[in-house]
Amino acid sequence: MEGTPVTALLRAVRRERGLTLEELAAATGLTKSYLSKVERGLSTPSIAVALKVARALDVDVGRLFSDEAASERIAVDRAGHPRGERYQALGSALLGKSMSPFIVRPSEDGADDPHPAHAGQEFVFVHAGDVELEYGDSTVALGAGDSAYFDAAVGHRIRAVGGRPAEVVVVATRDASSR
């Protein structure tokens, strides 16, 4: 996993901004240890964590998951990109987005995210497989074709169930006051 786009960009942008890991940890509420693991490719950040880091670094969250050059008008994502990635950013080459779309391939263990809540709203659409959405104190079963829209400030996690791989389209928005 070493050298993945999120690893390379996170370290580069942090250094470009003149921030230490300690300062980035303070700005995001994450631990220095966790951020170090992300930078070294030992941990993959969830969307919630990526949103916090992107906000602290003042960079579009999709850029943390892409090594493509930024475009100003349109971003096209073609089928056939590597399917083994847990998070695949969509539209990452477009600047100034108000939404951050991803394809998420959840594991049966759920996200290893220490902070699963974030500002804004989130929309999830199950493209394939079956998942459980833990939202606050409740759990919602979702199958292919099902969707959920919710306040992302409430803790939430998605995990695959049923022994088959799942694929979920997630669209996160930032709170307008955080821009």
Which domains, ranges and CATH numbers included, belong to the chain? 5-65 (1.10.260.40), 87-178 (2.60.120.10)
The residues near 99 (Cβ < 8 Å, ≥ 6 apart) are 91, 171, 172, 173
Show Cβ contacts of residue 166 under 8 Å, excluding neighbours closer than 6 positions: 105, 106, 126, 128, 129, 130, 131, 160
pLDDT along the chain (179 residues), means of 10: 52 81 93 91 83 83 61 69 71 72 85 66 95 94 97 91 93 65
Partnered with residue 100 across adjacent β-strands are: 172
Q: Report d(CA 90, CA 79) in Å as an integer.
A: 11
d(CA 72, CA 81): 22
- Look at residue 175 in the predicted model and tell me its pLDDT: 63
Model pLDDT, residue 179: 39
pLDDT at residue 96, as a whole number: 61
pTM value > 0.85: no
Q: Give the model's pLDDT for residue 131.
A: 96
Phi, psi values for residue 32, rounded to 5°: -60, -40
